[in-house]
Chains A and B, each alone.
Chain A
Amino acid sequence: MKKVAGIVNFHSSPEISPITDSRPLGSTSYLGRYAFCDFALSNLCNSGISSVGLMVKNHQRSILKHLGSMDSWVINTKISQTRILYNEPAQRDPRLNTDVNNLLENDWLLYDASYQMFAIVPSHIVMPIDLRPFIERHVEANQDITLIAAKQDNLKQHWIGSKVFKVNDKGELIGWDVNKGQFSGKNLVNLDVILINRPTLVSVLRQYAPTHPSMDLVSLLLAAHDEGRHKIALDYYDGYARCIDSFQHYMDYSFEILDRKNAERLFLKSWPIYTLTHDTPPALYGGASEVRNSYISNGSRIEGKVINSIIARNVHVGKGAVVRNSIIFSTVRINDNASVENALVDKYSIIERGHVLKGKAKDPLYVHQGAIL
């Protein structure tokens, strides 16, 4: 797999305020233990791709803090290459801060003939995808561009903002539209995974980028396809996949992994998901603790009640405290007899003794980082 370079695209992820006000979705906490981009990085690593570029849009601090020296996700710590691709000039103009302009700013990558093709993956879509069979089919069929799609139900509620592909009887791409909830039945959703040969990418960027200065890469490829200049082939993934497109969905998609059937589709035995170690001790439960249907991370001390919830690292749930249907980010203290229900409590917050915090199931509360309530 030496000839494939992986690129994790942080540009394509949606902003889901308020969670992503100070961090990109890719480095946002997921299931108490991961950042979303762990899935992208683990997929590349498990697929044997050892050169990885991180195409960063903004909030570099948050991403670099999570990634550290990147040793957690690389195959050979000498041979594997990891590069941050960052577009400094575009930081002043959000319209120009796109994946296309990032690639142009870091164009050395495009001229490196040791790479035959790129596997560009999103930083925010949760899926355990083995890219090897897709790459094999791409190479065997002599494709220039392959986009990976998934057949998905219920697009009225899910995959909002994602592109939906139309195909003809032969399975060829004939059109696309952005999902605003207008589709019914099963549809082909773009997973934002692009397999593209290096010369093709160079050619598309040369031809289209100057005249479309704020267009994203998938749109550019689709334009090239529409005009018959470069053909896009579609390939299909049928495993677990979720795109976090709203705060509500962040909560819903996290909680659905409490269901073992979903958990088993996400965490495959042969497909480990790597993340940064924090060397925290195992979780400690008190004699009067009551914990049900929850994920609890190491470094947490649970002395109260935790029901249908996700608790990240270094959280303390005090005696008599109750956490229900909630997600608690790392280093939060829920003091004795406090109560948190239908809420997301961001990092470093303190819920004082006896405080009651109650959101609605369909309208969860958000407690911002460092709040003291």
Chain B
Amino acid sequence: MAVKIAAMILAGGKGTRLGALTRKLAKPAVSYGGKYRIIDFPLSNCANSGITHVGVLTQYESSGLNSYVGNGRNWGLNGVNCLTSVLSPKQTEQGSNWYRGTADAIYQNLDWLDALSPEYVLILSGDHIYATTYDAMLQQHIGNKADCTVAVRNVPLSEASRFGICETNESGFIVGFKEKPKNPKGTLASMGIYIFTYQTLRKYLKADYGKELSEHDFGKDIIPAMIARKKRLLAYRYDGYWKDVGTIVSLHQANMDLLLSGDPAINLYSIQNSAHIYSEDNHCAPQYIGASAVVRDCLINQGAMVKGLVDHCVISAEVVVEEGAECHNAVLMNGCHIHSGAKVYDCLVAPNEVVRRGETINAARDGIVLYAGGRETK
């Protein structure tokens, strides 16, 4: 069967600014929302879009992520005529190469894509949080006979220098593109989500591979090269909830956005019908709320046991909050244990951490901290 569109998820990044959370784990595998890992979102989006062929490109601390992705079973991407492949750097006749950039990662897997011979390729990032389908974007790409469609959104001018900034004409085609400009002229930012017509992409990746000065990056090299050759690059506006969580503060905020008091645009309950988010199942006992517990404005996963006070918290499976413990504005990741008398404020608590009796995390309450390895960091 001919494959119309294949998705390639770039999941090799280290996520340096997440500190201890990504010391032994790739950023897309970081837990989020009490139950999920970040990569569940792009993978579920693919499943919900009817995409059947997905390559997940991993590199940094890949073993945990590789086994998590597996054959795509958690997202139903293991059905008939489906293929989920974990694509890590490999040894070839030419030697062995790490992925030198986002474009190089795809280039090194052209054989995988050639075997499928898709009409279109969707390039995604494994560490973005958003729930959508790619149907409308693909329709727009096909309808306009585009060579490449770039998902874009408006960002505040103050943040524009962190993104690739697009310049578009009246018909929505991209006529200029600058990756992380020092003095941004516009605010229309690329989200790092692209649909390419495969044969065009293939040509540009091959040409880019031999260029010595290239950083082999979509934003820095491939997109500008296509604009220079007057290819049809289309901007696709996406205004829904979308977060590229790079820091402890933004990961904490993205968790809090899921609460009932948070951002209605990412409320996992209101989006359920159109965009179910799938994840690994756990075999925990049911979630228990104790007789003297106080639970206010929280998201709590099965297998958690809450006997103390939790206010404005996101709580994962197998977390224990003992009677007499207090947690405020905290994200408690898998398996952490908050003992009686402990207090936790404005904090991400890393998986399996223990906060002992009488201990207080972030007593000063001056910003969000990460508690990992028994230490607080910012």
Partner of B301, one of A273, A290, A298: A298
B residues 282-297 with Cβ under 8 Å of A?
A: 283, 285-297
Q: Which residue of A lies closest to B311 (CB)?
A: A287
Contacts of A298 in B (CB 8 A): 35, 287, 301-302
Q: Which residue of B lies closest to A291 (CB)?
A: B289
Q: Which residue of A lies closest to B316 (CB)?
A: A282
Task: Report if B237 contacts A (CB, 8 A).
Answer: no
**Is there an interface contact between B286 and A292, defined as CB atoms closer than 8 Å?**
no
Complex Cα distance A274/B283, Å? 6
Contact A279 B279, CB 8 Å, known A287-B296, A288-B296: yes
Task: Report if B34 contacts A (CB, 8 A).
Answer: yes
A residues 275-330 with Cβ under 8 Å of B?
A: 275, 277, 279-298, 301, 303, 306
**Is there an interface contact between A293 and B289, defined as CB atoms closer than 8 Å?**
yes
- Chain B proximity of A301: nearest CB distance (Å): 6
Q: Which residue of A lies closest to B294 (CB)?
A: A290
Task: Report if B138 contacts A (CB, 8 A).
Answer: no
Task: Report if A272 contacts B (CB, 8 A).
Answer: yes
Task: Report if A263 contacts B (CB, 8 A).
Answer: yes
Contact A283 B300, CB 8 Å, known A263-B285, A267-B285, A274-B283: yes
Partner of A296, one of B33, B279, B287: B287
Contacts of B290 in A (CB 8 A): 292-293
**Is there an interface contact between A279 and B296, defined as CB atoms closer than 8 Å?**
no
- Chain B proximity of A262: nearest CB distance (Å): 12
Complex Cα distance A272/B283, Å? 6
Partner of A281, one of B269, B286, B289, B294: B269
**Is there an interface contact between A33 and B300, defined as CB atoms closer than 8 Å?**
no
Partner of B272, one of A32, A281, A283, A286: A281
Task: Report if B298 contacts A (CB, 8 A).
Answer: yes
Task: Report if B299 contacts A (CB, 8 A).
Answer: yes
Contacts of A272 in B (CB 8 A): 283
**Is there an interface contact between A33 and B269, defined as CB atoms closer than 8 Å?**
no
Task: Report if A56 contacts B (CB, 8 A).
Answer: no
Q: Which residue of A lies closest to B35 (CB)?
A: A282
Complex Cα distance A31/B269, Å? 22
**Is there an interface contact between B291 and A293, defined as CB atoms closer than 8 Å?**
yes
Contacts of A295 in B (CB 8 A): 286-289
Contacts of B299 in A (CB 8 A): 281-285
Task: Report if B212 contacts A (CB, 8 A).
Answer: no
Complex Cα distance A288/B296, Å? 6
**Is there an interface contact between B278 and A279, defined as CB atoms closer than 8 Å?**
yes
Contacts of B294 in A (CB 8 A): 290
Complex Cα distance A72/B283, Å? 10
Contacts of A303 in B (CB 8 A): 260
Complex Cα distance A281/B296, Å? 17
Contacts of B33 in A (CB 8 A): 281-282
**Is there an interface contact between B281 and A277, defined as CB atoms closer than 8 Å?**
yes
Contacts of A289 in B (CB 8 A): 295-297
Complex Cα distance A284/B290, Å? 16
Task: Report if B276 contacts A (CB, 8 A).
Answer: yes
**Is there an interface contact between B297 and A297, defined as CB atoms closer than 8 Å?**
no
Complex Cα distance A31/B300, Å? 17
**Is there an interface contact between A33 and B286, defined as CB atoms closer than 8 Å?**
yes
- Chain A proximity of B238: nearest CB distance (Å): 22
Q: Among A267, A282, A286, which residue has the most Cβ atoms of chain B within 10 A?
A: A282
- Chain A proximity of B302: nearest CB distance (Å): 5
**Is there an interface contact between B297 and A286, defined as CB atoms closer than 8 Å?**
yes
Q: Which residue of B lies closest to A292 (CB)?
A: B291
6 further contact pairs, Cβ within 8 A, besides A280-B272, A295-B289: A275-B283, A279-B278, A282-B299, A285-B295, A285-B300, A298-B287
Residues on A close to B: CB < 8 A? 31-33, 72, 258, 260, 263, 267, 272-275, 277, 279-298, 301, 303, 306
Q: Which 5 A-B pairs have the closest CB atoms?
A: A281-B268, A277-B281, A282-B301, A272-B283, A293-B291
23 contacts between A and B (CB under 8 A): A33-B302, A273-B283, A280-B272, A283-B300, A283-B302, A284-B259, A284-B298, A284-B299, A287-B297, A288-B296, A289-B297, A291-B289, A291-B295, A292-B289, A292-B290, A292-B292, A294-B288, A294-B289, A296-B289, A296-B300, A298-B301, A298-B302, A303-B260
